[in-house]
Amino acid sequence: MADCIFCKIANKEIPAQILYEDDKTMVFKDLEPKAPIHYLIIPKQHFDNVTNVPAGNDIISHIFTVAIKMAVKEGVSDEGFRIVNNTGALGGQSVNHLHFHFLAGRQMKWPPG
Ligand code: 5GP
Ligand code: ZN
């Protein structure tokens, strides 16, 4: 999608610190990390947010499979981590290309702000 920053990262039109990619997803470091490990997991295909993923599309489960892969790769699968998805204005979404935050390396708080 034109003028979508994450589409541009997925197409390698603008740089990012890419940690993993496959045919459907990409993982890169968040520009403003909120934890020692803060990655963004995105589908390469543009969806504005989770509400736009058609029923039957397996991208969300694939993203979680990738997240677990990252947890194992970073050695945090036992100590724990957090996966976050912000959806829409009240959900705090600032980039309108579906993404999941993968956060690890510190004690997470609850409830979130
Ligand atoms: P949201 O607020 O939509 O849930 O998360 C968007 C995230 O994208 C934020 O944590 C922000 O720091 C990150 N972000 C925004 N623009 C860029 C960018 O150009 N490159 C990278 N690597 N991260 C970005
Ligand atoms: Zn996009």
What are the chain's domains? 5-104 (3.30.428.10)
Q: Which helix (H) or strand (E) holds 90?
A: helix 88-91
Q: Which of 46, 44, 39, 45 is nearest to 83 (CA)?
A: 39
Q: What is the pTM of this model?
A: 0.98
pLDDT digits (tens, 9 = 90+) for 69-92: 999 999 999 999 999 999 999 999
CA of 53 to the centre of ligand 2 (A): 13
Instruction: Assess whether 97 carries a catalytic annotation.
Output: no
Q: Give residue 1's pLDDT.
A: 86
Closest atom of ligand 1 relative to the 86 alpha carbon: 4
Q: Which of 38, 62, 97, 99 is catalytic?
A: 99
CA of 96 to the centre of ligand 1 (A): 10
Which ligand sits nearest to residue 4's alpha carbon?
A: 2
